[in-house]
Structure 1
Amino acid sequence: MVDKLKSYTWILPLLWMGIIFFFSHQPGDESAELSGGITQFLLMVLEGVNIPLDQAALHGIIRTMAHFTIFFILGYLWYISLRFRDVSPGYSATIAFVLCVAYAFFDEAHQYFVPGRACELKDVMVDSIGAGCAILIGRLLSALRQKAFIKI
């Protein structure tokens, strides 16, 4: 049963990559509408508690956090997928990070061809940092789990 599950560990990170592709393929106006709606909601909430914010600045923060978060999830999914297949923690971290950075470059290159979108190196950096943070957390959890297992 476990061996059969191991053959399916690639599905979640690949599906997540498909979701990233879907969002990246949205024309600029659709993408801006989605993040703009989130911005408007947060502005309404924050103004309700007397926290004034500039709409453009908040919109930029939301878009940056979206990049960080989606690649954080991708990094963790790749790391867990590789660990589940008994790849060592160090190799899992390295392979997962390389896959995520490569996909971040692909994602930005793809956006160059989507109307109203841009290819920005800053986004690749944010994506890479998000993936790296998730992989680092996964690596630390693996080390803690291994340490706890040895003590038992």
Structure 2
Amino acid sequence: MDHLTNQRSSAETRTTNNLRTYLLLLIIWILILFTFSFQSRLPLDVTYPVKEVIRYDNELGFLSSQTAYLKQWVSLALESQPVQLLYLFYGLEYKGKWSALNLLYRKLGHFTVYGILALLIYFTIWRQTASPYLWTLLLSLSIALMDEWIQYYLPGRSSRIQDVLVDGLGAASVLLVIRLTSNGRFIQKKYSESGS
């Protein structure tokens, strides 16, 4: 009987420690997210490192033979129909490959940041509510709306409802992966038993 009580107590301690860990990670992630939101001006061109590698390669030619196919593929991808649709979705004018790469990089950032946010919210609340998927999505979208609302009032920043939709898509995608992974039980069981 004592052994069973100790096992139950140990499992409850691990669950409490997991909750605290995920809550702390969630708070840190939200602070990082809003730190970037409160910056009045972010670098406009996030493709600078890529341009530098290509410039360096063009000067020295050390990668040209290996990357010619890759450069051609990337060039075609940046002029493709899905990229054109992304520009249409945002109501922007297509200004060339570098502009497209910059837009894709930024929107992939939104998607990824809010996917991670949803993951952290989910693991923080999944035992606390009967509808963790719904609450995770609602909280993620609320934070995304707050993020865009803050950016609306900052000079040099823009606020777009399309970004909220991309953020929501990132959160929903992570929730779908959790749901499809053994109905979420594999992930939940793994993390609740590991004590981490």
- Per the normalisation by structure 2, the TM-score is 0.63
Aligned in 2, Cα 1:6/1:112: closer, same or farther, shift over 3 Å? same
Q: Which protein shows a greater Rg? A: 2
Q: Paired residue for 1:101, among 141, 145, 156?
A: 141
Q: Paired residue for 1:69, among 88, 107, 112?
A: 112
How much does 1:43 deviate?
Answer: 6.0
**Is the counterpart of residue 5 in structure 1 residue 48 in structure 2?**
no
CA distance in 2 between partners of 1:36 and 1:104 (Å): 24
Aligned residues: 142
| Stretches of structure 2 lacking an aligned partner (at least 5 in a row) | 1-12, 58-62, 79-96, 190-196
Partners of 1:39 and 1:62 within 8 A in 2: no
Q: Tell me the percent identity.
A: 28
Aligned in 2, Cα 1:144/1:131: closer, same or farther, shift over 3 Å? closer
Q: Which residue does the alignment assign to 1:17?
A: 30
How much does 1:87 deviate?
Answer: 3.7
Aligned in 2, Cα 1:104/1:41: closer, same or farther, shift over 3 Å? farther
Aligned in 2, Cα 1:86/1:140: closer, same or farther, shift over 3 Å? farther
CA distance in 2 between partners of 1:87 and 1:142 (Å): 19
How much does 1:32 deviate?
Answer: 2.1
1:43-58 aligned at under 5 Å gives the runs: 48-49=67-68, 50-51=71-72, 52=75, 54-58=97-101
Amino acid paired to 1:97: L
Aligned in 2, Cα 1:131/1:98: closer, same or farther, shift over 3 Å? same
- Per the normalisation by structure 1, the TM-score is 0.79
CA distance in 1 between partners of 2:148 and 2:17 (Å): 32
CA distance in 1 between partners of 2:170 and 2:164 (Å): 10
Aligned in 2, Cα 1:106/1:31: closer, same or farther, shift over 3 Å? farther
| Stretches of structure 1 lacking an aligned partner (at least 5 in a row) | none
CA distance in 1 between partners of 2:142 and 2:136 (Å): 10
CA distance in 2 between partners of 1:24 and 1:120 (Å): 13
Q: Which moved more, 1:132-141 or 1:49-58?
A: 49-58
What is the CA RMSD across the aligned residues, in angstroms? 2.7
1:115-134 aligned at under 5 Å gives the runs: 115-134=155-174
Amino acid paired to 2:177: I
Amino acid paired to 1:132: A
CA distance in 1 between partners of 2:43 and 2:34 (Å): 12
How much does 1:137 deviate?
Answer: 1.1
